[in-house]
Chain A
Amino acid sequence: MLVKKIGLALTTTTFLVTSAAAATLNVAIDSSPAGLDPHLITAFNSVVIVQGNVYEGLTDIDAGLNVVPDLAASWDISADNLSYTFKLQSGVTFHDGSTMDAEDVAASIRRVQAEKTASPMAASVMPITNIEIIDPLTIKLSLDEPFAPILSSLATIAIVPAELEADIEALQQKPVGTGPFKFVEWLPNNYIALEKFEGYREAGLPMLDGVKFNFVPEASTRQVGLTSGDYGILPGIDPATALQLQAQPGVKLHDTLNVSYTLLGMNVTRGPLGDAKVREAVNMLLNRDEIIAGALFGAGVPGGPLSPALSAWALDTSEFACYTTNVDGAKALLAEAGIETPIKLSILVLPRQDARDISQVIQQQLAAGGIEVDLVNKEIGEFVQDWRNSNFDMFVSANGGNPDPDQYFYRTFRSGGPTNVYKYANAEIDTLLDTGRTETDQAKRKQAYDAAQRTLACQGPIAHLAYGNLFTATNAKVKGFEIYPTGRLTSLVNVSLDE
């Protein structure tokens, strides 16, 4: 009798456990995030977990890299382009049960701007000089001068409850947002669990009962786990893994052109690299197709200063003469610049397999033109320090991209820009970038950025190498997943699992 009861109890528990687990999507990522505060942490592992799932912004970036409404239902832009009035979605609640209104939006923007928060996103909202709450669902943001990328920038600013404005501790551990999934628990080195937010503003969504982000450091383990069904999604995998998974039964591979890119950065204060002709010669010595085939497993396309994914902005590489490999031309340019070859330079290499492979290919290609390169491999902390202090001749790295040209160009190429570690200064480029930032007429902005791309592609401080493909693999049971070029898992809200 007792045995029967226990047996029954066991069966029911097993049943309950399996039915609950069935609608939980298991995601495998390589490591624990460093924190979950959306205004502090910009690393991929944090973004992929919280942005779009736990947090939402006023706007969002869709799969085609267009700005679309999110928590803001609509907006009006004043004729002088100095104020933006947002009408907020009504009936939106935070995961703690409180209602989201204009006060929360204002507090979130102030939180990112505050010196005390030390947010790495601050620059994208610093142009907002005044915030006015018109009514609980209407908010007006004012600027001192026009700032074209503002709508796109706001997509990265998560809206958090107003009472957390001054608190820089709480959200790191326990995020509270308005998104379709609610934070449940975080076991360090093990997993982060999210559950369906019952109060989500769109009825019937999300379809999953929960999402579990498992931290699985070993790539082959993630791979086996996906084919065995332990994991449903492997986001942001490298091309080599993608190639291997492609052939596996029960695996679906999603890919899209990425906004992130690999680059060869050049410090213009270091010897010959200060001469635009030398930088152009470096570009002419590179063979980008060879780099893509040799180091990126063919997964990528050559690109100029802007990703081809930004189809509204990017110029085709056929417009850049230096993108045609020409060793003799390069030698002639070096001679013209009065450089006696061979010259010796070093390349600081980002500690990542693709960057290591790329720099070896580049080493060979530059040698053909008499530029002898030493590769310097450092651990990530040291790499970042050298990068920030401009302590390099050249470096090979990979950067995440942005949906608006200003977000990348202004800080990178403007004289004294915060990430202009190349020490590049060009008055003509400065003017073009100022125009692109303050002009809101699309055609005029395009004109300015076209001119900037033409100069930067061959003579700028960065030789842009390739825009990779972003791969995400899903188990065949996962339905409704859509890949975003930003790498965010925004589409999880529509995902369901087949039995």
Chain B
Amino acid sequence: MRASLGPITNRLLDLAVVLLGVSILVFLMIRLIPGDAIAIMLGANTEITPERIAELEARLGLDKPMYIQYFDWVTGALVGDFGTSIWTGRSVMSEISANIWPTLELTFLSILVGAGLSIPIGCFMASARGKNSEVAVRVVAIAGLTIPSFWLGIVSIFIVSKLLPSVSTLGYVPFSQDPLGNLQRMCLPVLALSLPMLANLSRLVRSAMLDALGQDYIRTAKAKGVPRRSLIYKHALRNALIPFITSVGVATGYLLGGAIVVEQVFAIPGLGRLVLGAIAERNYPLVQAAILVMTTSFVLVNFLVDTLYAYIDPRVAK
């Protein structure tokens, strides 16, 4: 029955089910953490009467039973109203959209650099297997995997501030406002995010390529005189791409959820920091909406990856 609906409708149904489940989970979990928004707002040692605390609860809508709060929220969300941030009073969606651009840019550039470079490097490692140059690249790759990105971030900020004091490395300016300043500030965080990805993916490409290069059809291709370059990039790579795309898809999904550590280190106002801050201050509507946005993008990326599978390997489509 579902098969007749077509892949897009199927996906939308999946998305709806996932979002419903996630919304209930998030709604409950954030409220089950001890300490509510008011405790955080007032902090310790604040002089306040119970009546005023009750007034605050009523204002934030926290005095109603939880199922009514959930119902109110869902009915609002269905018509696109995700509520307002408890603290700033702004609409939750405007807070999210202000923080989504740095995350999108960071994700796009990191994937571009990390995934883009990993293919030639991985292919090189596979074809030069066992040679000294391959060992050198592999050592660098292992280093890239093991160095934590926050450490790499702090050290790179320090080095750049000493060697190139005129280059701004901290904070974020929109590309539309100051393209050069935007790219300057993006260099180090993209480096910190893409290096571990590059290391991981190029090792993956290497082993998938070694697998592919050992197959019979490669021997046949070699025998009929296919040039080495085309052998690697055309015949072997296409078959090695499936696990690669899966990994890139997962990495993209995670990055779209915000790269918390790198955002913290470089003071970038992305989704990760938004959600972290919102959880810490029990900003319920903001946490709920932001997690839904992240879930949606994760599901969409997965959909895209599935579509790509079919494109790369026509057998998958059948």
Contacts and interface: CB of A to CB of B under 8 A. Distances in A.
Contacts of B161: 224-225, 227-228, 230
B55 A115 contact: yes
Interface stretch (B109-117, B130-138, B273-281): B273-281
A120 B56 CA distance: 11
Contact of B274 (A118, A189, A387): A189
Contacts, number: 153
B34 interface: yes
Interface in A114-162: 115-116, 118-120, 122-124
Given A188-B274, A224-B158, A397 B44 contact: yes
B89 A118 contact: no
Contacts of A370: none
- Chain B interface size, as a band, is 35 or more
Nearest to A119: B52
Given A172-B89, A173-B90, A189-B269, A224 B154 contact: yes
Interface string A204-223: 00000000001111101100
A363 B51 CA distance: 37
B87 interface: yes
B297 interface: no
Interface string B49-82: 1011101100100000000000000000000000
B282 A381 contact: yes
Interface in B272-307: 273-274, 277, 280-282
Central interface residue in A17, A122, A218, A230, by most chain B CB within 10 Å: A218
Interface stretch (B11-19, B163-171, B236-244): B163-171
B35 interface: yes
Contacts of B216: none
A120 B48 contact: yes
Interface stretch (A28-36, A90-98, A431-439): A28-36
A467 interface: no
B87 A34 contact: yes
15 contacts: A34-B88, A35-B88, A120-B46, A189-B99, A189-B273, A214-B171, A217-B267, A221-B170, A221-B265, A224-B158, A230-B161, A379-B34, A379-B35, A384-B35, A384-B40
Shortest beta-carbon contacts, A-B, top 10 = A381-B35, A228-B161, A189-B269, A190-B269, A384-B39, A382-B34, A118-B52, A118-B55, A34-B87, A216-B267
Interface of B: 33-36, 39-49, 51-53, 55-56, 59, 87-90, 95, 98-99, 150, 154, 157-158, 161, 165, 168-172, 178, 264-267, 269-270, 273-274, 277, 280-282
Given A188-B274, A221-B170, 17 more contacts: A42-B42, A122-B52, A191-B171, A215-B269, A217-B264, A218-B150, A218-B264, A221-B265, A230-B171, A379-B35, A381-B33, A382-B35, A385-B34, A388-B44, A397-B44, A400-B45, A418-B48
